[in-house]
């Protein structure tokens, strides 16, 4: 048989396969009403249910407080803080907010909507952004008739991202990466998947136009918004750069002017991020954090994704990430479309940054389904051959995720969705006591309590350290870890930093170095406040004598 006959036979076989596939699809989709209900009601309701369960839960976020402390200062003084004003260990050091605009939004929602007492505004901050991010992806999939497969994809994404669905500025990066990637992916038209009669044949991919490049002009405003909402905009700029390199490569291959025109908004994205209050200095934030000694061993969110002998992520995160990557690989194997190289490079980029720092797992959980979006038709056909398979799998996944959250297997709390603070996570009673009886300076505090104390006691009462790790000299971080662990003695710590007050988390899991016990055994320390979460010690000295006498007996 000649080569031409082989090609004709292959084309004939493909045509028959397409007709049979269409016929089978007609059998499966015999009820338009059923399909419509699934597409516009059943699948969206399942996603909505999971999002509400995962996002409307008691707030246990420690870092939100220093973000809101920054915002309060800005709104009160109409200017940014002239350096650090909340700690006595780094007064005046440069303080670059990781998300100044998002901090202001959080503060406004907390104080104006929640009146500083309930979390309805903060819950709205989380739920609204997660809904927009995930439903934007679902709607794009529904327009391509691959919403069934995408629903399963998004359930896996939510499981992977659950630990990062918190009221903090980096949630904005999850929303913005979804919008930016959707613009990029939907700006291209997928050619049919290339095939060869034999492995020795050479095949040149068709040079199809890339319609929709005009929508790329939405990228610069999104990057401009992103750089002021959160420092994670760097991820978006890198992704746009990868896409721009692909368009430039296409132009060299085909000399299509559309590819050159698409480079203009991409190039603007590479400049417009400079329009932020800190200018180019904002780039120093990630490197400053990474340069702190031991930060990748001590701070959970900055640790690598997998630690072979250390503090690993919960098991369900590995299940979620494993599902995402397996589903993505299967999608590419079964794809009916050509695979642009920038898709693979971008997917690899997200895997690498997540492997390097687990805090990136939420944006990767959104990026992988979007990169799979143009290639879902093949796996979607297989999944929908049985009309009840995907609805059953999606319903089971929804019940499992909601049930795990309800029983406390995803986060530490249990029960139905709610909007409140988890009072067992914060030194609420101790802070109320210290607001009435301002403690003697200087105050040492447990690292994770720093933000809460900063917000309610600062800037009058200054903290030793808090979650703004980039603001502090690395030596402060090292000494803080040494004091907690006991490698720096209490006597030396008091001498070095003139400490008179200690506000400590007394829960064993937050005091592995037994600092509370070590201080309690000292005759020169007195407990002035104690509850199940927090204990406050004041050192007996001439400086604190009057303060101790003023306390109620």
Per residue in 322-334, pLDDT (tens digit) is 999 999 999 999 9
Question: What is the predicted pLDDT for the residue at 116?
Answer: 86
Q: Is residue 6 pLDDT above 90, yes or no?
A: no
Question: What is the predicted pLDDT for the residue at 16?
Answer: 39
What pTM does this model have? 0.89
Question: What is the predicted pLDDT for the residue at 193?
Answer: 67
Q: Is residue 212 pLDDT above 70, yes or no?
A: no
Ramachandran angles phi, psi of 59, nearest 5°: -80, 130
> Cα separation of 58 and 423, whole Å?
9
| Cα separation values, 115 from 118, 328, 456, 534, Å | 7, 44, 14, 25
**Rounded mean pLDDT, 345-349:** 97
Question: What is the predicted pLDDT for the residue at 519?
Answer: 96
Question: What is the predicted pLDDT for the residue at 282?
Answer: 92
> Cα separation of 440 and 545, whole Å?
10
Question: What is the predicted pLDDT for the residue at 66?
Answer: 96
Between strands 501-505 and 443-445, the pairing is: parallel
Q: Is residue 119 pLDDT above 60, yes or no?
A: yes
DSSP 472: S
Q: pLDDT-based confidence at 38, cuts 50/70/90?
A: very high
Q: Tell me which of 8 and 369 has the higher pLDDT.
A: 369
Question: What is the predicted pLDDT for the residue at 258?
Answer: 87
Question: What is the predicted pLDDT for the residue at 465?
Answer: 96
Q: Is residue 7 pLDDT above 60, yes or no?
A: no
Give me the numbers of helices (H) and strands (E) for the chain, helices first please.
24, 4
Q: Tell me which of 98 and 414 has the higher pLDDT.
A: 98
Q: pLDDT-based confidence at 21, cuts 50/70/90?
A: very low
Instruction: Write the CATH number of the domain with boundaries 424-550.
Output: 3.40.50
Q: Is residue 26 pLDDT above 50, yes or no?
A: no
Question: What is the predicted pLDDT for the residue at 27?
Answer: 38
Ramachandran angles phi, psi of 321, nearest 5°: -65, -40
Instruction: Give DSSP secondary structure letters for 348-361.
Output: HHHHHHHHH-GGGH
Domain ranges of the chain: 29-59+119-189+210-406, 424-550
Give the pLDDT confidence of 533-543 residue by residue, as tens digits: 999 999 999 99
The CA R_g of the chain, rounded to the nearest whole Å, is 27
Question: What is the predicted pLDDT for the residue at 69?
Answer: 96
Residue 408's region, left for phi above 0, alpha for psi from -120 to 50, else beta, is left
Are 375 and 328 spatial neighbours (Cβ–Cβ below 8 Å)? no
Q: What is the mean pLDDT of the chain?
A: 89
Lowest mean pLDDT, pick from 19-23, 105-109, 496-500:
19-23
Instruction: Give DSSP secondary structure letters for 152-197.
Output: HHHHHHHHHHGGG-SSSTTHHHHHHHHHHHHHHHTTS-PPBPP--S
3-state secondary structure 507-527: CHHHCCCCHHHHHHCCCCEEE
Q: Is residue 216 pLDDT above 90, yes or no?
A: yes
């Amino acid at each position: 048989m000649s080569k031409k006959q082989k090609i004709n036979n292959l084309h004939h076989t493909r045509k028959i396969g397409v007709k049979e596939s269409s016929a089978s699809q007609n059998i499966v989709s015999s009820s338009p009403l059923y399909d419509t209900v699934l597409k516009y009601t059943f699948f969206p309701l399942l996603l909505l249910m999971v999002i509400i369960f995962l996002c409307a839960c008691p707030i246990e976020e420690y870092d939100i407080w220093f973000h809101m402390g920054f915002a309060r200062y800005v709104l009160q003084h109409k200017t940014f803080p002239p350096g650090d004003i909340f700690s006595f260990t780094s007064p005046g050091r440069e303080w670059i907010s990781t998300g100044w605009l998002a901090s202001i939004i959080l503060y406004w929602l907390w104080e104006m909507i929640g009146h500083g007492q309930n979390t309805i505004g903060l819950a709205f901050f989380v739920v609204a952004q997660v809904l927009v991010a995930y439903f934007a992806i679902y709607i794009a999939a529904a327009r391509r008739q691959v919403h069934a497969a995408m629903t399963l994809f998004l359930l896996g994404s939510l499981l992977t991202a659950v630990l990062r669905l918190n009221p903090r500025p980096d949630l904005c990066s999850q929303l913005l990466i979804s919008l930016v990637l959707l613009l990029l992916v939907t700006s291209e038209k997928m050619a049919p998947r290339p095939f060869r009669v034999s492995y020795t044949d050479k095949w040149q991919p068709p040079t199809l136009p890339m319609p929709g490049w005009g929508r790329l002009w939405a990228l610069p405003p999104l990057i401009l918004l992103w750089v002021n909402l959160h420092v994670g905009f760097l991820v978006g700029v890198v992704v746009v750069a990868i896409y721009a390199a692909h368009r430039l490569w296409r132009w060299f291959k085909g000399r299509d002017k559309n590819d050159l025109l698409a480079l203009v908004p991409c190039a603007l994205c590479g400049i417009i991020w400079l329009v932020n209050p800190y200018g180019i200095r904002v780039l120093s934030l990630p490197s400053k954090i990474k340069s702190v000694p031991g930060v990748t061993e001590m701070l959970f969110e900055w640790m690598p994704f997998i630690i072979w002998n250390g503090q690993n992520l919960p098991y369900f995160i590995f299940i979620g990430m494993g599902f995402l990557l397996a589903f993505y690989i299967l999608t590419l194997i079964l794809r009916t479309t050509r695979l642009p190289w920038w898709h693979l490079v971008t997917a690899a980029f997200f895997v690498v940054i997540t492997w390097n720092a687990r805090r990136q797992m939420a944006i990767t959980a959104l990026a992988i389904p979007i990169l799979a979006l143009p290639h879902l038709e093949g796996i979607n056909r297989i999944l929908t051959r049985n009309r009840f398979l995907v609805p059953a799998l999606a319903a089971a996944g929804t019940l499992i995720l909601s049930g795990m959250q309800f029983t406390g297997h995803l986060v530490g709390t249990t029960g139905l969705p709610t909007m409140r603070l988890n009072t067992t996570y914060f030194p609420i009673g101790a802070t109320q006591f210290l607001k009435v009886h301002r403690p003697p300076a200087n105050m040492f505090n447990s690292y994770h309590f720093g933000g809460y104390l900063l917000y309610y006691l600062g800037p009058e009462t200054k903290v030793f350290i808090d979650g703004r790790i980039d603001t502090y000299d690395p030596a402060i971080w090292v000494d803080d870890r040494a004091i907690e662990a006991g490698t720096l003695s209490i006597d030396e710590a008091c001498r070095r930093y003139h400490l008179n007050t200690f506000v400590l988390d007394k829960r064993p899991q937050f005091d592995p170095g037994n600092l509370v016990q070590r201080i309690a055994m000292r005759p020169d320390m007195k407990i002035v406040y104690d509850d199940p979460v927090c204990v406050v010690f004041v050192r007996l000295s001439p400086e604190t004598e009057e303060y101790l006498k003023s306390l109620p007996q």
